Amino acid sequence: MRTRTGLEIRVVEDPSPLEAPSSLPETALCRLRWLGQAGFLIETVSSRYLVDPYLSDSLAVKYRGAPFAHRRMMDVPVDPASLVGVDFCLSTHGHTDHLDPRTIGPLARADPACRFVAPAACAQVAVSRGVPASRLFPADAFADLELGELSVHPIPSAHESLAIDGAGHHLFLGYLLSLPGLRIYHAGDCVPYEGLVGNLASWEVDLALLPINGRDEVRRAAGIPGNFNLAEAIALAKQARFGCAIGHHFGMFDFNTVEPETALAKIESERVDNFLIARSGVSYILSAAH
């Protein structure tokens, strides 16, 4: 598939283990693999990055016996303690499926070279969940982080609403990730808000990673804030002129998901040619167009 920004994206069946880096195809700029929920592994020729990995069953333990039991519908794809060569692990906010102590802690202990990014608003939470303070880079909206080959430009996200703590830090962030030859936008947990398209306007995003599990009064009443629905995510992709988008944040909990087949049918019926639905067991390979 040729993206709107001129790159090529290929979806390749890939059952290979996630633990260690493997070589990228020649001419590839990066490879992405979906870890479930909002989690992605992003690999370049020289680096590995995690964004919002949830690689445990922490929430099932926390909510055992509750009406929304948070039991995993997807197997854990990799033991975080076995991951090798992760340069940075980025969390967009402090909810456990994005900043998970049973993922972050084992990863930090297993790999002393791995560093972490989390919103300044939840920096202490990150430390309490296993991030060594000396290896934490606090992120704040519109304050760029230069992390070697990776540049991170955080923008606010509205997890149903924009939320700011007493010190003026946004609780929920999205990350614009600049890597050699491409830009990726991970929205974190987000709904449409006034100013979102403006925050993205000056960025030529090659690939956007957008949550599509939606929201409703039942979940809201239970304290479970929601995200874009598919129609809103498609509209944002068009308005912001993303090269391509991948919808994610489904298939983990039975009360907070969408059916991939239904989503694909909607995309096909609307003749949207640059919006994909996340799949496990595949690699998304981004390359410069020939």
Residue pLDDT, tens place only, 162-187? 999 999 999 999 999 999 999 999 99
Cα separation of 98 and 106, whole Å?
Answer: 15
For the stretch 105-125, pLDDT in tens is 999 999 999 999 999 999 999
What is the DSSP pairing of strand 7-13 with strand 28-36?
Answer: unpaired
Distances (CA, A) of 156 to 43, 194, 198, 238: 25, 11, 11, 20
Cβ–Cβ contacts within 10 Å for residue 274, how many? 21
pLDDT at residue 289, rounded to an integer: 81
Q: What's the average model confidence in pLDDT over 215-219?
A: 96
Q: What's the average model confidence in pLDDT over 204-228?
A: 97
Cβ–Cβ contacts within 10 Å for residue 196, how many? 21
Contact 282, 24 (CB under 8 A): no
| Contacts for 69 with CB less than 8 Å, ≥ 6 apart | 60, 63
CA 221: distance to chain centroid? 25
Q: Mean pLDDT of all residues in the chain?
A: 97
For the stretch 85-106, pLDDT in tens is 999 999 999 999 999 999 999 9
SS3 letters for the chain? CECCCCEEEEEEECCCCCCCCCCCCCCEEEEEEEEECCEEEEECCCCEEEECCCCCCHHHHHCCCCCCCCCCCCCCCCCHHHCCCCCEEECCCCCCCCCCHHHHHHHHHHCCCCEEEEEHHHHHHHHHCCCCHHHEEEEECCECEEECCEEEEEEECCCCCCCECCCCCECCEEEEEEECCEEEEECCCCCCCCCHHHHHCCCCCCEEEEECCCCCHHHHHCCCCCCCCHHHHHHHHHHCCCCEEEEECCCCCCCCCCCHHHHHHHHHHCCCCCEEECCCCEEEEEEECC
| Domains detected in the chain | 7-288 (3.60.15.10)
Angle between the N-to-C axes of helices 230-239 and 260-269, in degrees from 0 to 180, rounded to the nearest 10: 40
pLDDT at residue 56, rounded to an integer: 98
Is pLDDT at 290 greater than 80 in this prediction? no
Sign of the alpha-carbon torsion through 162, 167, 173, 176: positive
Among the ranges given (19-23, 36-40, 234-238), the one the predictor scored with the smallest mean pLDDT: 19-23
pLDDT at residue 40, rounded to an integer: 98
